[in-house]
């Protein structure tokens, strides 16, 4: 009734927004039960109509009633943009009677200026970084309250435990829509720790204990800021240090404080008063009430041995493994009680673990929350559990990994709720979606490893990895360097066929490029690359050709145009196994290429190009691959391994100019070396990554080996042996590529710093493969750089240096006879 009174008072007819004035008499509450055709706003200046329209879109078409109206009002007030909202309703005839809502809003003032008053120990820049309010934002009291807390926390970090902060708003005269937001800060004195001492410690030195603390004494590199929260945590840290070394009764009795003021503030001396107690040893674990698993099975989970000095952290992990065994097998409602038995005569500690076993927990419902765009079936197919299954912690973790690898969600939180009966439970996944559509315009670095192509190009790209929430991918990309290359590609991938993880992909690509190749214009002429002693123009002998890394200078290179059209179809299937996700993939590509040059002027060294000039040559291929993936997150892993084997057949028919087989093998492994939590949202982490890959080109049975030079294997200096781009002309039929990297994430999921060491080599000319392979073939490089870990922006920027060995002698990388030092390189990450 309160709504009817409100709307009756506010109801009026007007010609605003083109709604009709010439309407027949309407009942006072005519708008009830009528569909909402439009929602408009007036009075808004800082808040854009498009932002409000997007919020109101869900209400258009719904039938008008009390609940709908209060829901709309609630969403508008929840924005905290408006001081007052005045609703009005209008009839719309099109052709049935519908409702148009008009909200006249009175905006809260905007922030014209932010001032910090009273700050001297913390700079304005540091304070601006922690607050949420920004100039030109609409003033929001909730946000300001959070800003006050953030400023106080920043001061606490800096060693000002008694700081006080309040906020005030002033409105300059003549300005009716903007305010100045002032944060008034009273810092009080800064307290710095000048010394940390210990009393009562006889078993461990003060230095050993001091190194365990998060609080630090004032030094050249540390300001010694005191924080009460850290002191509380450090008391527990000292006690834990003793407990993990057998002194299970040790505790910090007190921490005394003494103060010494000086001109810069107050110096604090902290003294930890320690009660050490006696060293205890492990006396074993006794299990009671266990029938599902035998005591022998449970005892095998205890890594601590009878007679060992007690390590409480390790012992707690041992006992947790017992609980996890039950939990993993679906017994999540068991009661497991650990009773410590301390014998002060023998100084031993043993445990009695009493287990009350209950029935397994079966999944009654799997509930998905937070997916506004992604369809439920897309999510459910990545969860290896169904209603009726026994609960499995391992499968829940596998589901999280699968969902993160989709790259549709920024947050995934699993939870368990009691079901409708004692042995039933609901498995709930709360998700936070992220953008899956990428639209890019402008200038981009192509990342091409081919030095023939100009690396800077204009880009128009649209890609949706989750089109219409279906889990499928559609992408269109147009690239043009203007100088020498243009390409268009369209791709579509359907990830699930017949409800199983069988994917099918289609793509079409067309490209044009101006390329460079070695010439054979000067006598003696060679009719085949396989002819003994063959060498292109620019070299006096085959030996000089080899010693020059098969790289002619620019004046001995010719240009030609290449057109390429292709259509591809691919498919794949994957299984979840104990060793990881096993995948099998395959594909077929049909297409053709046209190479064009003026044969009256140029004669290419590559005999295939001589045959191909101005002819359309089919270029067809088939491939299949096997993979085993145990990485945690495939696009930026921190643990696990990856095995990959691909085999391809290039050229099906005798009339095709290229006919060869190709094999690619790859092994990668990742280890997290350390993961230290620095702040609540960031950890200092180090990941060691290994890669070893081997590629071969073979003859097809009964056919000659026909490959154009650009499709042979090479060190490109970008994807392998970073920095050695001058080796691209040294082609072969074998490529060994290996690297080791230390990866340190700087911004989780966005940016990392990598240190790398690369080693790559090419051989196998004329199919000899390893027969002539030696250290002389290898090219080494090392350095470091930034790597963007965003899947949509896989760019790597590195600086490094390279070296090789010539007949066992070390030699830095050279260009034109000169040593090349540290240099920058760009690459696409993978």
CATH class of 191-275: alpha beta
Query: With 0-12 CB in 10 A as exposed, 13-18 as middle and 19+ as buried, what is 423?
Result: middle
The 10s digit of each residue's pLDDT in 458-498 is 668 788 989 999 999 999 988 877 667 888 999 999 988 88
* 813 phi/psi in degrees, rounded to 5: -60, 135
Among 214-223, 266-275, 490-499, top mean pLDDT goes to: 266-275
DSSP letters along 113-131, please?
Answer: EEEEES-SSS-HHHHHHH-
Alpha-carbon radius of gyration of the chain: 35
State the pLDDT confidence band at 277, using cuts at 50, 70 and 90. very high
Other beta carbons within 10 angstroms of residue 106's beta carbon come to 11
How would you classify residue 733: left for phi > 0, otherwise alpha for psi between -120 and 50, otherwise beta? alpha
If you average pLDDT over residues 788-795, what whole number do you get? 68
Pairing of strands 660-679, 682-698: antiparallel
The pLDDT, as a whole number, for residue 544 is 84
Q: Which DSSP helix (H) or strand (E) runs through 574?
A: strand 557-577
The 10s digit of each residue's pLDDT in 395-409 is 898 899 889 888 899
Other beta carbons within 10 angstroms of residue 457's beta carbon come to 21
The pLDDT, as a whole number, for residue 401 is 87
| Of 651 and 53, more confident | 651
Is the confidence at residue 600, as pLDDT, over 50?
Answer: yes
The pLDDT, as a whole number, for residue 5 is 37
Is the confidence at residue 17, as pLDDT, over 70?
Answer: no
Q: 451 with 360: CB under 8 angstroms?
A: no
Is the confidence at residue 825, as pLDDT, over 80?
Answer: no
Other beta carbons within 10 angstroms of residue 127's beta carbon come to 20
Is the confidence at residue 20, as pLDDT, over 80?
Answer: no
**Residue in 725, 686, 707, 695 with CA at minimum distance from that of residue 766:** 707
Q: 358 with 330: CB under 8 angstroms?
A: no
Q: Report d(CA 383, CA 396) in Å as an integer.
A: 7
Superfamily in which the 2-107 domain is placed by CATH = membrane protein fhac (3.10.20.310)
**Residue in 751, 799, 793, 824 with CA at minimum distance from that of residue 442:** 793
**Residue in 326, 288, 286 with CA at minimum distance from that of residue 302:** 286
Is the confidence at residue 591, as pLDDT, over 50?
Answer: yes
Query: With 0-12 CB in 10 A as exposed, 13-18 as middle and 19+ as buried, what is 9?
Result: exposed
The pLDDT, as a whole number, for residue 681 is 65
3-state SS, one letter per residue, for 629-677: ECCCCCCCCCCEEEEEEEEEEECCCCCCCCEEEEEEEEEEEEEEEEEEE
DSSP letter, residue 483: S
The pLDDT, as a whole number, for residue 151 is 94
Angle, vertex CA 304, rays to CA 298 and CA 308, nearest 5: 145
State the pLDDT confidence band at 441, using cuts at 50, 70 and 90. low
Pairing of strands 97-107, 36-42: parallel
State the pLDDT confidence band at 454, using cuts at 50, 70 and 90. very low
Q: Which of 383-387, 532-536, 685-689 has the lowest mean pLDDT?
A: 532-536
The pLDDT, as a whole number, for residue 244 is 94
3 state DSSP class of 287: strand
Q: Report d(CA 423, CA 767) in Å as an integer.
A: 65
Is the confidence at residue 158, as pLDDT, over 80?
Answer: yes
CATH code for the structural domain at 281-356: 3.10.20.310
Using CA atoms, how far residue 360 sits from 260, 357, 363, 365, 614, in Å, is: 62, 9, 10, 15, 72
Token pair in block for residue 532:
């003994």
Q: Which residues contact 624 (CB under 8 A, 6 or more apart)?
A: 584, 585, 586, 587, 646, 647
Q: Report d(CA 743, CA 592) in Å as an integer.
A: 41
State the pLDDT confidence band at 700, using cuts at 50, 70 and 90. very high
Q: Report d(CA 725, CA 452) in Å as an integer.
A: 11
3-state SS, one letter per residue, for 413-441: EEEEEECCCCCEEEEEEEEEECCCEEEEE
Q: Which residues pair with residue 433 across a beta bridge? A: 409
The 10s digit of each residue's pLDDT in 351-360 is 999 999 988 9
Q: Which of 12-21, 88-97, 571-580, 739-748 has the lowest mean pLDDT?
A: 12-21
Q: Report d(CA 591, CA 160) in Å as an integer.
A: 70
**Residue in 216, 160, 163, 220 with CA at minimum distance from that of residue 193:** 216
The pLDDT, as a whole number, for residue 74 is 87
Q: Report d(CA 796, CA 718) in Å as an integer.
A: 10
3 state DSSP class of 61: coil
State the pLDDT confidence band at 791, using cuts at 50, 70 and 90. low
Is the confidence at residue 259, as pLDDT, over 60?
Answer: yes
What percent of the chain lies above the pLDDT cut of 90? 44
Instruction: Look at the block and give the residue holding tokens 């034109």.
Output: 816
Token pair in block for residue 285:
């674990």
Look over the chain and give the mean of its residue pLDDT values, rounded to a whole number: 85
State the pLDDT confidence band at 13, using cuts at 50, 70 and 90. very low
The pLDDT, as a whole number, for residue 494 is 93
Is the confidence at residue 15, as pLDDT, over 60?
Answer: no
State the pLDDT confidence band at 3, using cuts at 50, 70 and 90. very low
3 state DSSP class of 611: helix
State the pLDDT confidence band at 21, using cuts at 50, 70 and 90. very low
What percent of the chain lies above the pLDDT cut of 70? 89
DSSP letters along 744-768, please?
Answer: EEEETTTEEEEEEEEEEEEE-GGG-
Among 177-181, 460-464, 579-583, 702-706, top mean pLDDT goes to: 579-583
3-state SS, one letter per residue, for 810-826: EEECEECCEECCCEEEE
Q: Report d(CA 244, CA 357) in Å as an integer.
A: 31
The pLDDT, as a whole number, for residue 822 is 62
DSSP letters along 522-535, please?
Answer: SSSP-S-TTSTT--
Token pair in block for residue 559:
């240009």
Q: Report d(CA 639, CA 634) in Å as an integer.
A: 10
The 10s digit of each residue's pLDDT in 287-342 is 999 999 999 999 999 999 999 999 999 999 999 999 989 988 889 889 999 999 99
CATH code for the structural domain at 362-433: 3.10.20.310
Query: What are the boundaries of each domain within the chain?
Result: 2-107, 110-186, 191-275, 281-356, 362-433, 620-830
Instruction: Look at the block and give the residue holding tokens 């963007």.
Output: 788
DSSP letter, residue 726: G
The pLDDT, as a whole number, for residue 770 is 64
Question: Integer distance in angstroms from the first to the last C-alpha of the chain?
Answer: 63
Is the confidence at residue 456, as pLDDT, over 90?
Answer: no
DSSP letter, residue 391: P
Q: 405 with 343: CB under 8 angstroms?
A: no
| Of 554 and 128, more confident | 128
Length of the chain, in residues: 830
Q: Which DSSP helix (H) or strand (E) runs through 566?
A: strand 557-577
Other beta carbons within 10 angstroms of residue 719's beta carbon come to 19
| Two domains, one topology: 191-275 and 281-356 | yes
The pLDDT, as a whole number, for residue 565 is 94
If you average pLDDT over residues 702-706, what whole number do you get? 85
| Of 442 and 589, more confident | 589
DSSP letter, residue 699: P
Other beta carbons within 10 angstroms of residue 27's beta carbon come to 7
Assigned fold of 620-830:
Porin (2.40.160)
Token pair in block for residue 57:
């879109």
Q: pTM for this one?
A: 0.55
CB-facing half-sphere around the CA of 631: CA atoms within 13 A? 22
If you average pLDDT over residues 681-699, what whole number do you get? 90
CATH class of 110-186: alpha beta
């Amino acid at each position: 009734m309160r709504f009817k009174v409100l709307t009756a008072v506010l109801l009026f007819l007007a010609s605003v927004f083109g709604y009709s004035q010439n309407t027949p008499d309407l009942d006072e509450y005519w708008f009830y039960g009528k569909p909402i055709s439009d929602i408009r706003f007036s009075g808004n200046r800082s808040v854009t109509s498009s932002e409000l329209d997007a919020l109101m879109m869900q209400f258009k078409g719904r039938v008008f009633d009390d609940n709908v109206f209060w829901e709309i009002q609630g969403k508008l007030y929840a924005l905290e943009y408006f001081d007052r909202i005045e609703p009005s309703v209008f009839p719309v005839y099109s052709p049935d009677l519908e409702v148009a809502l008009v909200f006249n809003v009175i905006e809260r003032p905007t922030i014209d200026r932010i001032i910090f008053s009273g700050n001297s120990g913390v700079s304005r820049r540091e304070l601006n970084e922690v607050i949420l309010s920004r100039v030109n934002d609409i003033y929001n009291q909730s946000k300001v309250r959070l800003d006050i807390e953030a400023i106080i926390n920043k001061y606490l970090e800096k060693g000002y435990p008694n700081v006080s902060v309040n906020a005030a708003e002033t409105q300059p005269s003549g300005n009716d829509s903007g305010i100045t937001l002032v944060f008034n800060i009273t810092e009080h004195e800064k307290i710095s720790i000048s010394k940390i001492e210990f009393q009562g410690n006889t078993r461990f030195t003060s230095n050993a204990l001091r190194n365990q603390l998060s609080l630090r004494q004032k030094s050249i590199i540390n300001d010694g800021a005191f924080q009460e929260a850290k002191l509380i945590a450090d008391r527990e840290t000292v006690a834990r240090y003793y407990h993990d070394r057998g002194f299970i009764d040790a505790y910090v009795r007190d921490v005394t404080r003494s103060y010494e003021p000086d001109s810069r503030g107050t110096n604090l001396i902290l003294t930890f008063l320690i009660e050490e107690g006696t060293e205890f040893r492990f006396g074993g674990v006794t299990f009671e009430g266990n029938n599902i698993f035998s005591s022998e099975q449970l005892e095998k989970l205890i890594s601590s041995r009878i007679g060992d000095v007690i390590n409480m952290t390790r012992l707690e992990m041992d006992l947790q493994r017992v609980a996890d065994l039950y939990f993993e097998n679906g017994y999540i409602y068991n009661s497991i009680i650990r009773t410590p038995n301390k014998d002060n005569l023998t100084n031993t500690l043993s445990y009695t673990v009493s287990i009350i076993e209950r029935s397994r927990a079966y999944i009654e419902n799997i509930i998905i929350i937070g997916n506004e765009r992604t369809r439920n079936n897309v999510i459910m197919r990545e969860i290896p559990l169904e209603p009726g299954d026994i609960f499995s912690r391992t499968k829940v973790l596998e589901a999280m990994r699968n969902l993160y690898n989709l790259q549709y969600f920024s947050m995934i939180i699993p939870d368990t709720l009691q079901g409708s009966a004692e042995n039933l439970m609901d498995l709930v996944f709360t998700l936070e979606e992220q953008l899956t559509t990428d639209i890019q315009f402008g200038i981009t670095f192509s990342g091409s490893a081919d030095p023939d192509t100009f690396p800077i190009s204009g880009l128009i790209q649209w890609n949706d990895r989750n089109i219409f929430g279906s889990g499928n991918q559609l992408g269109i990309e147009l690239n043009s360097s203007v100088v020498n290359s243009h390409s268009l590609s369209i791709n579509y991938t359907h990830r699930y066929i017949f409800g199983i993880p069988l994917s099918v992909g289609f793509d079409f690509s067309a490209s044009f490029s101006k390329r460079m190749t070695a010439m054979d214009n000067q006598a003696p002429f060679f009719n085949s690359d396989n002819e003994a002693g063959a060498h292109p123009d620019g070299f006096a002998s085959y030996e000089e050709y080899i010693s020059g890394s098969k790289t002619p200078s620019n004046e001995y290179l010719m240009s030609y145009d290449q057109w390429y059209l292709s259509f591809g179809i691919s498919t794949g299937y994957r299984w979840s196994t104990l060793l990881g996700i096993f995948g099998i993939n395959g594909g077929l590509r049909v297409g053709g290429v046209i190479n064009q040059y003026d044969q009256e002027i140029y004669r290419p060294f590559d005999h295939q190009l001589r045959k191909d000039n101005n002819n359309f040559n089919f270029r067809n291929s088939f491939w299949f691959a096997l993979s085993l993936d145990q990485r945690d997150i495939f696009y930026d892993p921190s643990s696990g391994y990856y095995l990959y084997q691909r085999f391809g057949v290039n050229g099906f028919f005798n009339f095709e100019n290229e006919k060869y087989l190709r094999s690619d093998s790859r092994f990668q492994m990742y280890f997290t070396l350390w993961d230290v939590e620095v702040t609540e949202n960031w950890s200092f982490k180090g990941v060691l990554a290994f890669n070893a890959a081997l590629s071969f080109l073979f003859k097809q049975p009964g056919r000659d080996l026909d490959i154009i030079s650009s499709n042979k294997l090479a060190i490109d200096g970008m994807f392998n042996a970073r920095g050695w781009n001058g080796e691209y002309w040294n082609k072969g039929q074998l490529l060994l590529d290996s690297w080791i990297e230390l990866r340190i994430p700087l911004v989780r999921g966005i940016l990392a710093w990598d240190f790398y060491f690369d080693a790559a080599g090419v051989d196998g000319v004329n199919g000899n493969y390893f027969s002539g392979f030696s250290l002389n073939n290898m090219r080494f490089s090392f350095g470091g750089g930034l790597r963007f870990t965003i899947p949509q922006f896989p760019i790597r920027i590195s600086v490094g240096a390279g070296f090789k060995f010539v007949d066992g002698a070390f030699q830095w990388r050279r260009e034109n006879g000169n040593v090349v030092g540290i240099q920058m390189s760009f690459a696409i990450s993978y």
